[in-house]
Structure 1
């Protein structure tokens, strides 16, 4: 299982009901993360990590969706096996990886160099010291 990692700057921290809500700026895009602990201050350099299985892929975005981390990327490569397809995405000149089923790949009909959206739930994003 591949782990994706991005670097960013912690812009905002909110706390409620035992949970910290982070807003992280990654090269001008905002990512959101929820965590149970906090050892960070706003302005800190942090790393975001999320597994390839936590990234969903879409060609279009429905405005009524609960996922807040939605960003554009380009498909650089697709590795196929009998059940799964691993996407290599180019995002802000970095590679990210997503793992989806062959059924989803057929349904989406995505090819190399296509523009797509990648989606990651805030609960799936882990924040670490940069």
Structure 2
């Protein structure tokens, strides 16, 4: 599966024993990451990653969802297969992809140029390099 990569800057780090929650700023908005051992510092620049099959899609942002990362994007390409559909979208010049079931894509009635929200749990984000 494809991987999404985003350049980001560490804004804050919260620690509870070995668990860390890190907040980032990026060109797609604020993002959050939860992990065990973290060796990051505030203002450090890193590349974050998350797999395309970890990206859910919603028609609108919602505070009633458990997804920490909600990225508003514009759909630029839809590749429907019999079982899976790959959605390519942009937030400004940042390209992002999601792979969902074709049944879900049909249920959401996704179309080119639709504005949607890519949803990524903080536990699905990882550091590619830092």
TM (normalized to structure 2)?
0.94
Give per-residue Cα distances to partners, 1:79-118, cap 9 Å, x unaligned: 1110010000102311111000011011100101110011
Q: Secondary structure at the match of 1:29?
A: coil
CA RMSD of aligned residues (A): 1.3
Alignment-derived partner of residue 38 in structure 1: 38
In the TM superposition, what are the counterparts of 1:1-130 in structure 2 within 5 Å? 1-27=1-27, 29-130=29-130
Give per-residue Cα distances to partners, 1:31-88, cap 9 Å, x unaligned: 0000111111000001110000010111123431111101200001011110010000
Which segments of 5 or more consecutive residues in structure 1 lack a partner in the other structure?
none
Relative distance call for 1:53 and 1:27 in structure 2 (3 A) is: same
> How far did 1:28 drift?
6.7
Which segments of 5 or more consecutive residues in structure 2 lack a partner in the other structure?
none
CA distance in 2 between partners of 1:83 and 1:38 (Å) = 37
> How far did 1:129 drift?
3.4
